[in-house]
Amino acid sequence: MIVPSIDHLILDTSQTQNPIDAIIKRTGDIVNFDKAKITGAIEKAFAAAGKSDPQEAERLTGTVISKLQRFDTDKYSVEDIQDMVESTLIENEHSGVAKAFILYRHERRRIRDEKMRILNTTVLDPVARKFDVNSLRVLASRYLLRNNRGEIVESPQKMFRRVAVLVGLADILYDPAVFERNGNHSQNVDEAQGYLAKLDNFDQKFKIGEDYLNKWHFRALIDHYVTLAQSGTMKVGFKAVLEMLANKKFDTHASKIEEYYELMTSQDFLPNSPTMMNAGCRLGQLSACFVLDMPDDMTGIMQSTSDAALIFQSGGGVGINYSKLRQEGDIVASTSGVASGPVSFMNIINTVTETVKQGGKRRGANMGIMEVWHPDIEKFITNKTKPGVLENFNVSVGIWEDFWHSLVDSENGKYTLLSVREKLPVREIDSHHLFDLIAQSAWKSAEPGVIFFDHINKYNVFAKARGEPLSATNPCGEQSLYPYESCNLGSINLANLVKRRADGNYEFDWQRYEEAIRKTTRFLDRIIDVNLYPISAIDRASKESRRIGLGVMGVADLLYKLRIPYNSQEGYEMQSKLAEALTYYSMEESVAIAKSFGAFPLCPKTEYADGKIPVAGYYEKPKSQHSYDWDALIEKIKIHGIRNVLTTTVAPTGTLSMISQCSSGMEPTFALVFEKHVTVGTFLYTNGILEEALRENGLYNDDILGAIKANYGSLSGLAQIPEWLQKVFVTAMDIHWSDHLMAQSVWQQWISNAIAKTINMPYDVTVEDVKAAYMLAHEMGLKGVTIYRDGSRHTQVLHMSDDNAEKNFEVRPSALIGEYVSAKIKNAYIRSEVGRALEIRAPTEYATEQVVVDPPEESLCPSCKNKLIFVEGCNICIECGFSGCTSG
């Protein structure tokens, strides 16, 4: 039981009849006194000491107030009241309660001091008081503004307001007083653009409600106005907009800014990292995901390299398909020389990445893709199996249906590699040999991943407008994009969207979920309007499609709260409902936005006009299993269009989930108990929901925490832990790799883009298991997959374990996997390969030699030098929040 801080006593200012008039907060603010807050704190202090006596708490509150009234003042500090509560408890022979109160008070003081040290401040704002120390470390290391000496000069509250104000600016120019959707107005955009030369003069000159616009907010307002004016939808000139702003005509939009602010500070939702880094700042670039073209000519190659550098500098990550580059050794007519091949040009981008930090905060991230027909494919596949090669890249093999048919349907497995320029046969290979090579490399080094372009394009409604299929993704593979497109990502914290029933158990709040989806869909759409894209081609392509990627985090924590096992029938059904609701409500809200402000410009040229939607579950699941009326939504789209070409993506949320204090993305928890290193030493970090459950069952003690830590952070197989707890509180390593795939597929059925997910495998799986995983992933309709065998990284560290760790459990596929293989896989070859891999093996212990106790420098966080873990396809530091990915 946690004793509340006395700070909570002063939050309710509605009581004005108490004899003591006011309280002086630590910030110096004065608020009205409320004695009920003292009573509540004393009651919880009793509970922490294992007692309950509401009447005694009321009596003691009266004693505290009587003592305070003896002093010749009507204002008391927080410390005054805390001292008086403490002495009153002791005087009334409640020594155990007083001890609990004193210990908690001491701990709160220690935490306050640590927070102030992290934030370089002597006063904590409301956000800093609410967020935990880990959250603030992440904010401080990556998001809060600093001066030229590297000192933090921005509080968390100011950062979130900086973001909210920028997003709110987009709403202002959609006000009916200045905007007309079907207008044909002609405005002088030169007049508006003239203000760009005098931004400094307008810094902090205008405000919306109580929020002032800085000069970078003002710049975004100008750019947004120019875009709308060029489309003919601005009814008034820019000076008229400024007059209305000065006369507070737009103050009604202050409530929208407050809504955006509350979404973030409630920890219910966070946008991708570049938005929090750059909103209201000089760079102004708010997107995480970009894709560039790589044409087969030197001018184009150098242009893409330059564009990549600008994207890295602005805080984004880049995906490039290198398949257009001619194969190594091919003739270059212009020089009479020979081509050096795609891999050599990947090294150029890798060097640029090393040199240019993202937004001055971190190195860039890349996805390098080669399609399976390319003559250099074998070199590409094996390239990253060597240490130190392309360290700023994730690499993936792009697979099309012709290769897949050769692999699983052809008798001889022959597959033809084609020349890049003429698409003529170069040589014939064995598709099984190539597939073995992919699996063997992934088994050895976790690279390459595979991208199933056949599935990505199966329901690609945008191909008709773009004239070609999708063939590239962002660095973590969850976002497919056309060249020079970008995407704004954001994630809803599902673990927050629960309510407690009278019996003390949690239930999911579906109404709050719908509200959150609708609000955050608008949030992400508005970001497109106020985004300062680093390249004009990206600005144009992004606004043509208005692609957004709303996703989730906290799935594992939500299931813990609901007491639903992640890898169970109930767990999969719950995740399916969450995924379907996410896409349905976001698309429905996108239609509502289109109805008011217009569909994305290329919408009439897409298959939306034909009644198609980019959602596999609509087509592949029986309508009896749909939770929503998708047909009605399709009819609305045909009438009104839709604002965003695609709306949902489950992205990596490594740092975002640390800020929100929840589990990452839709991943299972990496470990329930593990060592954390802080300035004063080390301690065992325990998942908060597990800690509550252990305490409720009388199981919380150091011995049990140590046993969980030594068991790879898992409860499985520990005799002292009840079986129901073991089933509910599963970790990534408790779940068989086939069930990881099942979970990803459950989400993929309803998510319009794709999923960032790591398919965890124990160290003792074989290459055949990896191959089977790829086959099962394709059968399940996944758009891509990243396999991570424990120990497969060159500098792998089992962060949650120690030298003496022993695995006390065997991981088996769920019964649902067996049913799926039997009932759903029709191809005999695939069924045979997957079935053989899923045979239950005899239990084996983890070999302790796989644990690296003293990791090399390259396996350490470049920011804080603590150990990295690998999750969602990215290296993540669970100490400071460093991430190798761009979205979170």
DSSP collapsed to 3 states, 603-618 = HHHCHHHHCCCCCHHH
CA torsion angle 592 595 597 602 (round to 10): 100
DSSP for 397-409, please give it.
Answer: EEE-HHHHHHHHT
Which has the closest alpha carbon to 508: 517, 526, 519, 496? 496
Rounded to whole angstroms, how far apart are CA atoms 718 and 706?
11
Cβ atoms within 10 A of the Cβ of 235, count?
18
Question: Encoding tokens for residue 43?
Answer: 């009651």
Backbone angles phi, psi at 649, to 5 degrees: -150, 135
What separation in angstroms does the CA of 427 have from each of 398, 418, 421? 19, 7, 15
For the beta carbon of residue 347, count every other beta carbon within 10 angstroms.
14
Name residue 827's amino acid. Answer: N
Helix or strand or coil: residue 400? coil
| Angle, CA of 716, 663 and 787, to the nearest 5° | 70
Three-state DSSP class for residue 417: strand
CA 731 centroid distance within chain: 19
Cβ neighbours for 522, distance < 8 A, ≥ 6 positions apart: 589, 593
Tokens encoding 254: 């202050």
Beta bridge partners of 507: 499
Whether omega before 448 lies within 30 degrees of 0, making that bond cis, reads: yes
Strand 393-399 and strand 366-371: the pairing is parallel
Could you list the active site residues?
A: 474, 476, 478
Token pair for 34 = 């409320």
Taking the CA atoms of residue 31, residue 32, residue 36 and residue 41 in that order, the dihedral angle to the nearest 10 degrees is 20
Decide the pairing of beta strands 486-493 and 269-271. Answer: antiparallel
Round to whole Å and give the CA distance between 733 and 790: 9
Please, what is the Cα angle at 82 between 79 and 84, to 5 degrees?
Answer: 110
Can you tell me the distance from the alpha carbon of 103 to that of 510, in angstroms, rounded to the nearest whole number? 39
Give how far the C-alpha of residue 634 lies from the chain's centroid of Cα atoms, to the nearest Å: 29
Signed CA dihedral, 784, 658, 44, 680: sign only: positive
**Greatest pairwise CA separation for the chain in angstroms:** 98
| Spatial contact of 437 and 381, defined as CB atoms under 8 Å apart | yes
Q: How many helices (H) and strands (E) does the chain have?
A: 33, 27
Q: Which residues pair with 758 in a beta bridge?
A: 786
Sign of CA dihedral 632, 635, 639, 644: positive
Nearest-10 Cα torsion for 747, 749, 750, 755: 40
